[in-house]
Amino acid sequence: MNTKLHAICDSQGRPIDLFVTAGQVSDYIGARALLSGLPNVKWILADRGYDADWFREALQDKGIRACIPGRKKRKKAVKYDKRRYKRRNRIEIMFGRLKDWRRVATRYDQCPKVFLSAIALAAVVIYWL
C-alpha cells in the first residue's frame, strides 16, 4: 500500500535516477539498485537509512567518499562531514516539490511502474523543462 522513492540527484538537487520500492523494504535494496547508476562524483550525501558497511565499501571502490551519518545503534561511531551533510536539504526539497503534484502525493496509481512513470514525468516538467 505504501512505497519508498529512492533518488540520485545532482549537486543542484535535480533527480538523475529514480527507483521505487515497497514501503516496508529496507533502504539497502534501493541503495543496491541505484549503485550501478551512480555518476562519477567525489562525494555522496545520504541519510542514516543508507548506513551500511557494504555500501560504504562499494562507494570507496568507485572512488566516492560517503557523507552518511551512522545509525544510532552502531557500536563504532562513523565520522562524516557535518557541514557538507547540511547540503542534503536540496534532496529533501526535491522530494517536496515532487509531492506538490497531487498524483504523486496521493499515489493514485496502483501499479508501481505507472507510479514511477508519473514521478518521472513530474521530475522532467519541474526540473528539466
Q: What is the pLDDT of residue 1?
A: 62
Domain total for the chain? 1
What the block records as the C-alpha cell of 96 is: 517536496
Looking at residue 29, which CATH number applies to its domain? 3.30.420.10
Please report, in tens digits, the pLDDT of each residue of the chain (129 residues total).
688 899 999 989 899 999 999 888 888 888 999 998 898 999 999 998 899 999 999 999 999 999 999 988 888 888 999 999 999 999 999 999 999 998 888 888 888 899 999 999 999 999 988
Is 52 exposed, middle or buried (CB count within 10 Å of its CB: 0-12, 13-18, 19+)? middle
In terms of residue numbers, what domain contains 38? 3-128
